[in-house]
Every structure is written in C-alpha cells, then in structure tokens.
Amino acid sequence: MVQSLMDPCLFLKKEKAELVGIIGTLVDDSLGIGNSAFGDEDESKSKRLDVKPREEFPFRFTGCDISSESGMVKLHQTKYAQSLKKLSPSSFTAQEFAHLRGLLAYYPRARTSPS
C-alpha cells in the first residue's frame, strides 16, 4: 500500500503498475474497494483485528450512500442533505456564525470531488 500524495487518508495498492485496491480512512472508520484478490486479503486481515463486518452494496458510510450500478460505484449525500435543519444566521453570535461558515466551506472539499 502506498499513501496518496494528494490525500494522506487515502492508500493505494498497485500490482505491476495496475491499481487493484483503495482504502480511505476517516478518524476510526475505513472504506476499501478493489478487485477480488484485494477483498480476500482485506478480509483475512480483518479477521485478526476488531473490525465491523464487511458490507455489500448498497450501504451508508459517514453520511454517504454508496451503491454499485453498471460496474461503477456511485456516492451521493441526498438523504444526508435533506436531513439538515435550516438555520437562520441571526440565531448565532458572530463568532459562532464565522465558525460554522468555516466548517461549511471545508466540508464539501473534504468529502466530495470537484467533478
């Protein structure tokens, strides 16, 4: 496994210059995807550690709904976005509002791709 230069929480596994698996981490959660050999290796390591059981598509991971369709992996946050409460800026102090604005600016960049 090689740590990504673009994101320190992303690890790539290559065999003969071909990408065969990816593991992403978020605090104490991780998400892996790859070919069947990568999955078998991951499962054997999981048996030695105290980890949650593997989930099959579709499933939810840290607010993202993840599914597989036509050989592609789809991620979306529709249910999460719909669950958010609408808040009025006037209900916060200036400091609280600035803090929330900063969190909102960071969150999409940390959780989604630009495409």
Residue 36: the pLDDT is: 86
Nearest C-alpha neighbor of 20 from the set 28, 9, 12, 11? 12
* DSSP-assigned letter for residue 77: -
Residue type (1 letter), 100: L
Residue 112: the pLDDT is: 52
pTM listed for this prediction: 0.60
**Residue 65 neighbours by CB under 8 Å, 6+ apart:** 58, 59, 75, 76, 77, 78, 79, 80
Residue 111: the pLDDT is: 54
Q: Give the model confidence (pLDDT) of 8-65 as tens digits.
A: 899 999 999 999 999 988 888 888 888 888 888 777 777 777 777 778 889 888 888 9
Angstrom distance (rounded) from CA 76 to CA 66: 7
Confidence of residue 114 (pLDDT cuts 50, 70, 90): very low
